[in-house]
Amino acid sequence: MSNILLTRIDNRLIHGQVGVTWVNHLGANLIVVVNDEVADDEVQQNLMDMVVPDVIGTRYFTLQKTIDVIHMASENQLIFMVCRTPQDVLKLVEGGVPIKKVNIGNMHFSEGKQQVTSTVSLDESDKEAFRKLHKLGVQLEIRRVPDEKADDILKFL
């Protein structure tokens, strides 16, 4: 059984907050980025790897590969999973990935989205994905950094 410490939704995937602050807070030794585009883009992977300390491993998997292989993770792998969208997290959970808690860090504003906090903007598709995740028993919180008080996403749905 995989040891997923936390799953984070962050448009930027790996950056300073993820690669250093969250990893240290969680005690993770592996960051798994789950994104179909980045899984095949070595340039983006190399840029993200520059932010992560050498002692932390990184993997870049597609959604399907994650569903297929996450259960083979070693007990020693303390996993911090990062996705871009709530829809991706929902696909993972529906595919059998044992995600218990989701941290919503950054979901940037774009046309058709409503800004609900300084770093999170949602459209109806996002809200529906969060409602489904909640019904599946996944704990959801909005929090940029570990020392910040968590905010409940459910009040915005």
Q: Which of 15, 25, 71, 108 is catalytic?
A: 15
21 neighbors 117 (Cβ within 8 angstroms): no
Backbone torsions φ then ψ of 151, nearest 5 degrees: -115, 145
What's the alpha-carbon Rg for the chain, to the nearest Å?
A: 15
134 neighbors 146 (Cβ within 8 angstroms): no
Known catalytic residue at 134: no
Return the beta strands (E) in 22-149 as ranges.
30-34, 57-61, 78-83, 101-106, 114-115, 121-122, 139-142
Which DSSP symbol is given to 132?
A: H
Q: Which residues contact 144 (CB under 8 A, 6 or more apart)?
A: 17, 105, 106, 119
Dist CA 108 CA 140 (whole Å): 18
| Catalytic residue positions, numbered | 15
